[in-house]
């Protein structure tokens, strides 16, 4: 449901010379939700985020928060805060002074700004390292400081541009759980840019898929994964086949394709073990069809590249794509 304090993009456009980086985007970000802006490199995600934050000017259109047009306000007056891809901490300032910096700029006295900084550092579990310099922290710890620094301004909307990209895969999964917890606790909106579909599915109340400067589809993670509107979304989300059948184009989830003795006659081309399941790619005429088969089921009747195989699926699971 739409509330007065939602963030709304209205005909938002950004041009760099002849390049249209963001093209006439319209979207309402519901208050208090975790939104992931998902799309391939160059599709306009960072530009969209930077326009919301006020770090990039708007070519056309507007950005509304609380129904007020914030698109020409300076960043600090918008009610938004941004955590950058590179954490950009001041190397010569302690953790506490980094977090308190924006409050110092606002003229807030030392006692009050240190109290606010310490509260935020406690929130991200970094209170014990407040005296350190950034160079004395691990990447994950620097990231928490950057997060505290963004949150200390009490933003209504926190903007995060690929916040997990510098972390190793193990840490990435742990930190994304912490981001989600933090968003729930604070009850503010997070808009998190990523090019990773698994990250978006894991985190987002709403996934907004961008492609070529426009929003291709927006919805809950299950809606977007379960019912991709276009071939682009089906392919980009992964785990889907795109098949031409009877003059129509359909998405078929790879976990809905069964290896059978009957069914569509195909030839196995690639077998990849993935731990809990096995990814089996087969050639069905000119079309490659991916089947994700539970591990035990696969090894009950294993296949190798070159083997003949039958592919079967429930017709009801075919999902028609927009032409
Ligand atoms: P993403 O974050 O999705 O990878 P960006 O928003 O950074 O994409 O970029 C979108 C498009 O705008 C790209 O074609 C990029 O080259 C172009 N672009 C981004 N920033 C600038 C800039 N400052 N000057 C010119 N072109 C830019
Ligand atoms: Mg980017």
Q: State which ligand 1 atom lies nearest to the alpha carbon of 46.
A: 2
Return the CA Rg of the chain: 23
Round to whole Å and give the CA distance between 166 and 163: 8
Instruction: Establish whether residue 19 lines the binding site of ligand 1, counting it when its CB lies within 6 angstroms of any ligand atom.
Output: yes
- Per-residue pLDDT, 87: 66
299 by Cβ neighbours in 10 Å (0-12 / 13-18 / 19+) ranks as: exposed
Round to whole Å and give the CA distance between 275 and 255: 15
Compute, in angstroms, the gap from residue 21 CA to the centroid of ligand 1. Answer: 6
- Per-residue pLDDT, 84: 72
Round to whole Å and give the CA distance between 5 and 268: 53
Compute, in angstroms, the gap from residue 190 CA to the centroid of ligand 1. Answer: 22
- Per-residue pLDDT, 1: 59
- Per-residue pLDDT, 220: 98
Instruction: Establish whether residue 165 lines the binding site of ligand 1, counting it when its CB lies within 6 angstroms of any ligand atom.
Output: no
Round to whole Å and give the CA distance between 111 and 118: 11
- Per-residue pLDDT, 175: 86
| In contact, 10 and 61? CB cutoff 8 Å | yes
Query: Cβ of 156: how many Cβ atoms within 10 Å?
Result: 16
Instruction: Establish whether residue 15 lines the binding site of ligand 1, counting it when its CB lies within 6 angstroms of any ligand atom.
Output: no
How is residue 104 written in tokens? 């110092």
- Name the E strands within the chain: 7-16, 19-29, 34-38, 60-65, 68-69, 80-83, 157-161, 189-194, 206-211, 214-219, 240-245, 248-253, 258-260, 264-273, 277-284, 287-294, 308-312, 319-320
Query: Cβ of 70: how many Cβ atoms within 10 Å?
Result: 20
Instruction: Establish whether residue 197 lines the binding site of ligand 1, counting it when its CB lies within 6 angstroms of any ligand atom.
Output: no
Q: Domains of the chain by range and CATH?
A: 7-226 (3.40.50.300), 239-320 (2.40.50.140)
Smallest CA-to-CA distance from 244 within 286, 293, 279 is with 286
Tell me if residue 174 falls in helix, strand or coil.
helix
- Per-residue pLDDT, 170: 87
| In contact, 257 and 246? CB cutoff 8 Å | no
Tell me if residue 245 falls in helix, strand or coil.
strand
CA dihedral 107, 73, 99, 158 (to 10 degrees): 150
pTM: 0.92
Instruction: Establish whether residue 57 lines the binding site of ligand 1, counting it when its CB lies within 6 angstroms of any ligand atom.
Output: no
Round to whole Å and give the CA distance between 43 and 73: 25
Q: What is the pLDDT along the chain (323 residues), one digit of tens a residue?
A: 567 779 999 999 999 999 999 999 999 999 999 999 999 999 999 999 999 999 999 999 999 999 999 999 999 899 999 987 566 899 999 999 999 999 999 999 999 999 999 999 999 899 999 999 999 998 888 988 999 999 999 999 999 999 888 888 888 898 899 999 999 999 999 999 999 999 999 999 999 999 999 999 999 999 999 999 999 999 999 999 999 887 889 999 999 999 998 899 999 999 999 999 999 999 999 999 999 999 999 999 999 999 999 999 999 999 999 97
- Per-residue pLDDT, 2: 64
Please list the residues that pair with 215 across neighbouring strands.
Answer: 210
Q: What is the DSSP string of 186-226?
A: H--EEEEEES-HHHHHHH-SEEEEEETTEEEEEE-HHHHHH
- Per-residue pLDDT, 190: 98
Q: State which ligand 1 atom lies nearest to the alpha carbon of 41.
A: 4
Pocket test for ligand 1, best of 15, 20, 43, 47 (most atoms within 8 A of CB): 47
Round to whole Å and give the CA distance between 235 and 75: 36
> CA torsion sign, 291 to 294 to 295 to 296?
negative
Pocket test for ligand 1, best of 18, 20, 21 (most atoms within 8 A of CB): 21
Ligand 1, atom 16, lies closest to the CA of 42
Max distance between CA atoms of the chain, in angstroms, equals 76
């Amino acid at each position: 449901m739409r509330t007065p304090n939602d963030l709304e993009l209205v005909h938002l456009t950004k041009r760099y010379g002849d390049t249209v980086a963001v093209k006439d985007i319209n979207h309402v970000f519901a208050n208090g939700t975790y939104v992931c802006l998902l799309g391939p490199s160059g599709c306009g995600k960072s530009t969209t985020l930077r326009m919301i934050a006020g770090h990039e000017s708007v070519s056309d259109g507007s950005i509304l928060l609380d129904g007020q047009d914030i698109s020409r306000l300076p960043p600090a007056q918008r009610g938004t805060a941004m955590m950058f891809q590179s954490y950009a901490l001041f190397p010569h300032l302690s953790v506490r002074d980094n977090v308190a910096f924006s409050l110092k700029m606002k003229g807030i006295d030392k006692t009050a700004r240190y109290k606010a900084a310490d509260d935020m550092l406690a929130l991200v579990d970094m209170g014990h390292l407040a005296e350190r310099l950034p160079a004395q922290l691990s990447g994950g710890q620097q990231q928490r400081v950057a997060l505290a620094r963004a949150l200390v301004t009490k933003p209504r909307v926190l903007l995060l541009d690929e916040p997990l990209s510098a972390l190793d895969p193990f840490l990435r999964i742990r930190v994304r759980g912490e981001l989600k917890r933090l968003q729930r606790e604070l009850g503010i909106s997070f808009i998190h840019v990523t090019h990773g579909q698994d990250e978006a599915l894991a985190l987002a109340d709403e996934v907004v898929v961008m492609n070529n400067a426009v929003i291709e589809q927006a919805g809950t993670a299950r809606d977007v994964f379960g019912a991709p509107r276009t071939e682009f979304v089906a392919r980009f989300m992964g785990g889907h086949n795109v098949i031409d059948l009877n003059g129509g184009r359909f998405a078929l989830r790879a976990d809905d394709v069964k290896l059978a003795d009957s069914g569509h006659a195909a030839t196995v081309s690639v077998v990849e073990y993935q731990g809990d399941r096995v990814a089996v790619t087969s050639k069905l005429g000119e079309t490659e069809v991916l089947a994700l088969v539970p591990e035990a089921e696969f090894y009950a009747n294993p296949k190798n590249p070159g083997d003949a195989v039958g592919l079967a699926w429930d017709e009801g699971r075919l999902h028609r794509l927009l032409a």
